[in-house]
């Protein structure tokens, strides 16, 4: 998978979050904490962004 450029960053982030919301909604009986949801979101994003430079310059600063 190719690294995502800056123009697509917001789109991919929103798509990934929406996909995670749908997954959680489809599992009606599962109760997840905010930490569990955050961990799943970060895991999905990690799968999408294989370029470490993109991760280190854009994703990680969001949590600092």
Please tell me what DSSP assigns to residue 60: G
Going by C-alpha positions, the residue among 36, 33, 42 that lies closest to residue 63 is 42
Q: What percent of the chain is helix, strand and coil (3-state, nearest 5)? A: 75, 0, 25
- Number of CB atoms found within 10 A of residue 49's CB: 20
Per-domain residue ranges for the chain? 6-63
Q: What is the pTM of this model?
A: 0.41
2-52 pLDDT tens trace: 455 555 767 777 787 788 778 777 776 667 777 887 887 788 777 776 666
pLDDT of 5: 56
How far does Cα 44 stand from its chain's mean position?
5
pLDDT of 40: 79
Q: Answer yes or no: is pLDDT of 60 > 60.
A: yes
């Amino acid at each position: 998978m190719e690294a995502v450029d800056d123009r697509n960053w917001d789109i991919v982030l929103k798509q990934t979050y929406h996909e995670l919301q749908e997954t959680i909604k489809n599992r009606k009986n599962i109760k997840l904490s905010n930490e569990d949801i955050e961990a799943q979101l970060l895991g999905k994003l990690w799968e999408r962004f294989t370029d470490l430079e993109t991760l280190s310059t854009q994703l990680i600063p969001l949590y600092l």
